[in-house]
Structure 1
């Protein structure tokens, strides 16, 4: 294993995350994640609840990263409008929506009983 290449790969991954933060939806997901962090600190969550929230937050962000990558590749491969390109981008966005909705439900199930 080339250790130098291995450590450089972390820099490339960080650059990818920074590139994705230029997208409006990624910034929205990160903002929501920050609110969940603050709410969790204020609420006093258990270790298990923190594990669940960290996992679903990471899943939303990771899915948005994959969605951004798919959109970029589709735009490169098909700069003109094409129904299949639109379908690919819509399906990737749909995956983010499914995960985001599930994370909201999980957040409600964790926070609402503690608040009321």
Structure 2
């Protein structure tokens, strides 16, 4: 196969995959209140980080972690609802575990945020 043809196919395949990913992000944003809250919390944290000239990398990483896990949680819930429309203890266990993963990430994201943003914010508020 011609190298240029292979590259064009790969680019088309990547664009199609990116379209599916974007659709998933949009659907989750529209349907999941927690994802909307976490997305806006991430925007706020990133804005505050830039405003305070604080280290960006840890904030970016924890925002990406929380949002990614919320997307996975939404996917797990949708798949379980499809496979087990009625109540089932294993369905509940899977949903609870996925939600727990988001909770753990959000808790530690809060700790990272306090650690990274707390000192410069305190210095600004206290006039130091």
Normalised to the residue count of structure 2, the TM-score between the two structures is: 0.84
State the partner residue of 2:37: 28
1:87 maps onto 2:102 in alignment: no
Q: Distance in 1 between matches of 2:56 and 2:35?
A: 21
1:114 deviates by 1.2
Deviations 1:94-115 (CA, angstroms, capped at 9, x unpaired): 0000000000000000111112
* Structure (1 or 2) with the larger CA radius of gyration: 2
Segments of 5+ residues of structure 1 without an aligned counterpart are: none
State the partner residue of 2:21: 13
Root mean square deviation, CA, Å: 1.1
1:41 deviates by 2.2
Normalised to the residue count of structure 1, the TM-score between the two structures is: 0.92
4+ residue segments displaced more than 6 Å:
none
Aligned residue pairs total 113
